[in-house]
Structure 1
Amino acid sequence: MSALHTVKVEGESRYDILIGPGLLGDARIAQTLRGRHALIVSDVNVAPLYADRVEATLLSARPSLHVGRYVMPAGEQEKTLARFCECIDALAAMCATRDAAVIALGGGVVGDLAGFAAACWMRGIDVIQLPTTLLSMVDSSVGGKTAVDLPAGKNLVGAFHAPRAVIADTAVLRSLPPRELRAGLAEVVKYGAVFDAGFFAWLEAHADALVASEDATLSEAIARSCRHKAEVVSRDPFEQGERAVLNFGHTFGHAIETEQGYAGAQSDALNHGEAVAVGMVLAAKLAAAVGWAPLSDAHRLEALLHRLGLPTAMPTGLDPSRLLERMRLDKKAQAGGMRFVLWKPLGSATLASGVPDETVLEVLRRG
């Protein structure tokens, strides 16, 4: 297995995803820039580790470049309209022109907020995604979905805004806390669960190497995940159909996150990847409850997630009725009611409407 991969996203918005160790020091970051302004957006955890290196890489290739920074507090609870406004103010302070670029250096929170700011500044400027978590490398940095949260729900204000490039330096994963690495593995498992039973089996065979952060194995897992996402995004860039299956587990997971107040940094609350892991198990059990897939598939999913160190059961203390109400406001709900991504069986998935509330509640009660 090679540690360096290039994945091409085709369709209406074409760009490359570069995956491998050492890319934050690669001049190809500077080659993505069209103008003379670049705003590095990061958070207080990531900026001290990597912002200087990225700025040095940019200025080495483009000495006349005007580089600014906006560093926000860390955490999902900071992905707000207020922080978005601060990012916009940072672009205004550097007099960023229409050929400027926002460089999103961080995990999914930074990528979502920075991408939304880029989508809105002067009606849309370039964003280059430099994801620093496994979760953002395989999911949020690819596909152009940008947003901030509201108290009422996750990602309710945002825009589709494809990146100019995604550059994933796998070497930065060595600095990730083990919990964050495991959270990203949940999204990797998702691609096998809904697209590729063979990839799911590969993950079962390489679970120990993934948890141990072996470079070549992680790069292979990231590349295979990104290829699946790139293929579906190129066919459905605005999530009008097929792309919605990427939300497997997310209807349940987002409801859990919202109900816990996006408090994933706390030891007793789930972060995004953990909530998705639980959500996937709940979705698999719902598929069994409506007769779409055998319960044994759900047990197989539970076993893999457990090997990867991820939770598989509903957190205690959450009211199933309140979670159901949260799900009604989910972006995947339509006028006709809630929609769920269910597999039929492992390795393929589709959207399901008209699932009785009582069936969903029973799955939530059993956890």
Structure 2
Amino acid sequence: MTETRWNYNRTLYASYLGYVCQAIVNNLAPLLFLTLQRTYGISLGQITLLVTFNFGVQLLVDLASTLFVDRLGYRRCAVIAHVCCALGLAGLAVLPELLPHPYVGLLAAVCLYAVGGGLIEVLISPIVEACPTEKKDAAMSLLHSFYCWGCVLVIALSTAFLALLGSDSWRMLPLLWALVPAANAMLFSRVPVNSLTPEGGGMSVRELLRSSGFWLLALLMVCAGASELSMSQWASAFAEKGLGISKTLGDLAGPCFFAVLMGLARVLYAAFSDRISLLGFMRGSCVLCVASYLLAVFAPHPALALLGCGLCGLSVGILWPGVFSIAAGRMPAGGTALFALLALGGDLGCSSGPTLVGFVSERAGGVLQAGLLAAILFPLVLLAGSFWLRRILPERH
């Protein structure tokens, strides 16, 4: 029994590191947005397209994974996912120099690591859900907190690296970060991995698509992803360009502060989940999310605007893992298809939220505050949708 527990602990460690890898692929490029713009002479719209392309590819992978994940198995797909992440990160440094047009090289690298990121999002949550552990909602929240700690690690170490060696050395960063998913690919090749449901026992995609409860959960996931990424993807550029703060200070006080508070929210819920209503906690978080966006946009002083960025991280912390936990509890037969389609919804939000911010900002003459104000739509819709859960998808006892 002790040996079995230790083996599954290693599975959990690999899963935690998997979310660190996803944090790397989702957050490294945004730290380099303005550097890439200066280096290759690309527009704000093209920078926005990198975000859209990243999560658009992840969305397609989420959808396609329903066709092959159960057939290939969780372990093999997890290894493939991490190899793609490693190749894509390395390509971010190499491909723009090899291909005739640097922007095509950037898109190719983003495509590679987006395939890995999409598979990680589909696989890791059901792998942890299938582990023999108690308090599944707490375990899910703790798992997703490692995405936040990965964000902090990426932001802090990358910022320190660029501050010490200069922005001209930026190409070394993705090469170094590529070592993390490469190592985790080897770890996932060795740890025990269970299936979420017996073969053929989960709901089919057709069955899920016929369920009104699934569509409500999917809407909540779209809004959760958009509420989080609308701020986190633009926090660095917002601090540097919108507030006139230096890149080093802006990265630490903007996206890094955001990630720390997001992780803190997930750890606190994991610690006190038996005393806190998940749905009530999510509703309060939506209200705080709206307030934090308003503070970031309308604050008269940069320090208050950065406080709004950080509070946004605290507010969105529970939204994504919370929807996963609700789905697992209220649709237990959903299986891999449920997690894959919800990940698709989340990635649709991760793509549409930052894209909306970018395009609204560009139409407003490059004023990022205008785009962030438009993003308030997402937590408001999530809040409204949460009140329909009991009617459409009653809690199981």
**Normalised TM-score (structure 2):** 0.26
**Which has a greater percent of strand?**
1
**Which has a greater percent of helix?**
2
**Normalised TM-score (structure 1):** 0.27
Compare relative contact order (CA 8 Å, sep 6+) and give the higher one, 1 or 2.
Answer: 2
